Chain A
Amino acid sequence: DTAVSQTPKYLVTQMGNDKSIKCEQNLGHDTMYWYKQDSKKFLKIMFSYNNKELIINETVPNRFSPKSPDKAHLNLHINSLELGDSAVYFCASSQGWDRGFFEKLFFGSGTQLSVL
């Protein structure tokens, strides 16, 4: 059973298109995140949600819009894709800070986005 699953694993698209990446966790966690990993492997947080509420919104272009329909899902929609958006996007979850375990992140296997 996959704890944090994201789809698709690979996404190849043209500049200017709009695409979405879906993420689901079956761990019962309260907090979910999106991280971006660039070609040099640098991992940087983009967003975090706690119980469907946006907590962190780093300096990410507003072409990126996260959506959390419920606390088990956090999707990422990207409008007007640019070449520089090419990266691996990781979804992650953690248990939630009110129980003191929120630091332990569980990552999905990533979505390799290639913008041509």
Chain B
Amino acid sequence: GENVEQHPSTLSVQEGDSAVIKCTYSDSASNYFPWYKQELGKGPQLIIDIRSNVGEKKDQRIAVTLNKTAKHFSLHITETQPEDSAVYFCAARTGGGADGLTFGKGTHLIIQP
């Protein structure tokens, strides 16, 4: 089955700086890569996603890049703000149907004031 590795497990950045979280996946058939943000006491919430036929996608301060050859994808957050502090999960999905998602182990992003 699919295996998703995520790094780093904890990331601390100064407010206003950029943050980058990286993930690798094992199954070359995976075709969908979402990123979820989980705030304390809440469920994960989708923030951005990318399909395998696209190399990059941007939504305001958030961007995701995908390198299918290397089987890795990254989340980029620019001009970080205190409300960006949360746990971020990458995920990958292989095939069709209600397969669900395979998640990475999460990155705790801390924005230092």
Contact = CB atoms under 8 A, between A and B. Distances in A.
Interface in A85-116: 90, 92, 94, 96-97, 102-110
Contacts of B113: none
A56 B94 CA distance: 13
A44 B2 CA distance: 12
Given A41-B87, A44-B103, A109 B42 contact: yes
Q: Chain A at the B interface: mostly helix, strand, loop or mixed?
A: strand
B32 to A, nearest CB: 5
Interface string B87-112: 10100010011111111011000000
Interface stretch (B21-29, B43-51, B56-64): B43-51
Contact of B100 (A4, A33, A96, A106): A33
A55 B97 contact: yes
Nearest to B106: A41
B43 A107 contact: yes
B97 A41 contact: no
Given A90-B43, A90-B44, A103-B93, A42 B103 contact: yes
A95 to B, nearest CB: 11
B42 A110 contact: yes
A45 interface: yes
Contacts of B106: 41-43
Contacts of B101: 45, 103, 105
A30 to B, nearest CB: 8
Interface of A: 4, 31, 33, 35, 40-45, 48-50, 55-56, 90, 92, 94, 96-97, 102-110
20 contacts: A42-B105, A43-B103, A43-B106, A44-B103, A45-B100, A48-B98, A48-B99, A49-B98, A55-B97, A56-B99, A90-B43, A92-B43, A103-B34, A103-B101, A104-B34, A104-B46, A105-B36, A105-B100, A109-B41, A110-B43
Given A42-B105, A110-B42, 15 more contacts: A33-B98, A35-B100, A43-B89, A43-B106, A44-B103, A45-B100, A48-B98, A56-B98, A103-B101, A105-B34, A105-B44, A107-B43, A107-B45, A108-B43, A110-B41
